[in-house]
Structure 1
Amino acid sequence: MAKVQKAENTQRESLEKSVRALGGTWDPSRGMQTLRDAGYHPSEKYIREVYRRLADSGLLEKVDEHRAIYFVIEK
């Protein structure tokens, strides 16, 4: 269980680092490709969850109320 949780935290940290470094607009496909390039196999549902957490922390802002599209507002 701890190994799974550690892998999840590493994925989330990797995605957050990329979001901060690259900025701009993020949708689920961009997040999935970013994590795939880093060697992970995320689901779209997982990416949406991470985006919601990053929005709650003030890093992202949702720009489309009907779709999971976010913009980086903090560097």
Structure 2
Amino acid sequence: MIADTPKPASQNEGEGNRTADAQYRRGVEEHVRHHDVQGDADRARRAVDGPEGDELRRAEAEGKRHAKGEDPGLKKG
């Protein structure tokens, strides 16, 4: 049984964090229920196919160049 009540902030659930999973799923469900998801997808498709498409693809490529979890704004050294 998965509890929907959040655990105290000091308790680390580690991998498979059930509290975070439940919060994420509720957020997605609420977004789908209250937003025009198909309209959002249509607008995104038009943006990628339109004049800003090249800029969006460059931004996507830049994001993919960074390792997962790496903050490109932080400098090492």
Q: Same fold (TM over 0.5)?
A: no
Q: Which has the higher contact order (CA 8 A, sep 6+)?
A: 1
Q: Which has the larger radius of gyration?
A: 2
TM (norm. structure 1) is: 0.30
| Structure with more strand by fraction | 1
